[in-house]
Amino acid sequence: MFEGFVEEDVTVGEVRIHVRHGGRGPAVVLLHGHPRTGSTWHRVAPLLISRGFRVVVPDLRGYGRSSAPDPRRDHSQASKRAMADDVLELMRTLGHERFLVVGHDRGSYVAFRLAMDHPESVGAVALLDCIPIVEHLERITPEFAVAWYHWFFFAQPETPERVIMADPDAWYGGDPELMGRENFAERRRAIHDPRVVRAMLEDYRAGLGVDAAAEIADRAAARRITRPLLVLWSARDDLETLFGDPLGIWSDWADTVSGGPVQSGHHMAEEAPQELSAALVEFFAPTTAG
């Protein structure tokens, strides 16, 4: 994976971020979701490089080979604001004051926070398979509770760690052929690390607390994403079924929204890299022209 990329650990504030980067051109940072690492982008990153982008692929704080602080009572060490600040400092350390952002799943909330808190640094943002956390919580139905029970299970103290670590492979599953064998092996190493599992759960605990509160504050202050926003979702997943048109939801949070479904299951970077990359290149082209 990632042939020709530089792979290194970069200290940013209170954490050490494991990152791969390569290519030339406008910088785009790719932010993974749960329970992946940056290696989930191993099929997308080379395609973006071939279209003239410089690609930066970090492991989010606490995930993969990146470090995380010890848990705090309010779980703020795993907040999306803290993760977004990591990414901002990482990109500046690598020489990028302004960049493009792509986030999937939990990484979408980090990308969302970057666009809200640091619009001067974000040229455009693509959010994959997500709507704002508070929009989820305001639409709780029995169907959502059954399909997305893990949000609330992961938020419980201690028990999720014991359940998952009893058999991480059974809990997380995954097909090495579909994921790519090296990507599968990297993800497997991560989920067998109790430190990583704890940090991933802290991500969800922060989500229902400090992250949801940040979004409520954004809405009260009428803060919006002012940069161009692309919203993509997996046609063979349940986001649209449970919540309706994601573009309509995001139009309440952003000035300019476009997008649509990708013919894929949830992990679109692994399952539909060509379609995803083409959509990203088309979206980013006007931002990078000239």
* Helices (H) then strands (E): counts for the chain: 16, 8
Which distant-in-sequence residues (6+ apart) come within 8 Å of 38 by Cβ? 18, 19, 20, 30, 32, 57, 58, 59, 64
DSSP 243-279: HS-HHHHHTTTBSSEEEEEESS-S-HHHH-HHHHHHH
Query: Known catalytic residue: 85?
Result: no
Active-site residue, selected from the candidate residues 34, 118, 193, 266 = 266
Q: Which residue has the tokens 């940072």?
A: 29
Spatial CA neighbour of 173 closest among 164, 158, 214, 182? 164
Asked if residue 88 lies in contact with residue 15, where contact means CB atoms within 8 angstroms, the answer is: no
Q: Which residue has the tokens 């455009």?
A: 124
Active-site residue, selected from the candidate residues 59, 86, 105, 211 = 105
Query: Known catalytic residue: 266?
Result: yes
Identity of residue 50: S
User: Which sequence positions are flagged as catalytic?
Assistant: 105, 266
